[in-house]
Amino acid sequence: MSFTVKLRSKNPSARDLKIGLSNILCSRPIVVRLGSRTPIEKIFPRSHSRAIEINSIEGITNSRDKLLMKRCFSTEEVKTANWGALSENRLWNNFPAIIKQRGSHGGGGIYMINNFEELSEFLRNHLNVNNYIIEEYKNFTKEYRLHVTKNGCFYTCRKMLKNDATDRWHRHDNNCVWILEDNPLFERPSNWNEIEGECVKALNSVGLDTGACDIKVQSEKGKRSSFLPDFIIMEINSAPSMGEITTIKYLEKLTEIISEYDTK
């Protein structure tokens, strides 16, 4: 008996990836989760006990909730900004700071706080502070996304602000462009291997098999050749947006992972 690979994702940009994976036949039922927490029993009602899950529900849950994700980072000592649950840090005094809604995605639900007065105002206007975390703002000028598995990075881009971007403290799809690795503007950091290793560490900490890790890196311009830039892991995402190249890279990597599972 053979099975077609199932992709479960609420991200409409994953449509072409879903079609590509559906052409793969396996001897066991396999589901790939990109942000979905649909129970395995609903995906494979008759054969769920034999099913393989690439990205578990636990991993999805940990990565989509900023509080759970940061707790995983702290437990495994992943290199990230100083942070805390907002409900426990009403007297936070490390500014500027970023407040993030626990379930924020796509650049929404994120706020810059410059001083204690602004923090106090935020607290007055947002009564359910259990829904937020607060973290130190790092004014590092370079931002990258590394798509990783346990074996390392299989695709990466640099996220650069558009010239006319007005909101320059926070990079998102509306004010940025994506720079590929073969573009001179990519400017690969000199400690890339360390950064890549830390992204894999972040992936493992939340329990994902594959994910998109967003990082900020200190600029090296004007520094000595021996200078190693500081960096932080901002977050890891199980359901990144899928452009044409991203889809191709994920199809290649997931096909490889599926083949490994199917031959065990």
Cis peptide before 96 (omega within 30 of 0): yes
| pLDDT computed for residue 264 by the predictor | 63
Q: Model-level pTM? A: 0.94
pLDDT of res. 163 = 84
Residue 113 amino acid letter = I
Q: What is the pLDDT of residue 2?
A: 86
Angle between helices 57-64 and 66-75 (to 10 degrees): 100
- Cα distance between residue 59 and residue 207, in whole Å: 4
Query: In sequence order, which ranges of the chain are alpha helices (DSSP H)?
Result: 15-21, 40-43, 57-64, 66-75, 116-125, 192-206, 244-262
pLDDT for res 109: 87
Provide the angle, in degrees to the nearest 10, between the axes of the packed helices 57-64 and 192-206.
120
With 0-12 / 13-18 / 19 or more C-beta atoms within 10 angstroms meaning exposed / middle / buried, residue 193 is exposed
Find out whether 25 and 3 touch, Cβ atoms under 8 Å.
yes
Q: Which domains does the chain have, with CATH numbers?
A: 3-55 (no CATH), 82-136 (3.30.1490.20), 142-237 (3.30.470.20)
pLDDT-flagged residues of the chain (< 50): none
Cα 9 from Cα 7, distance rounded (Å) = 6
- End-to-end Cα spacing for the chain: 16
Which 3 state secondary structure label does DSSP give 232? strand
Q: State percent of the chain over pLDDT 70.
A: 98
Q: What local confidence, expressed as pLDDT, does residue 178 receive?
A: 94
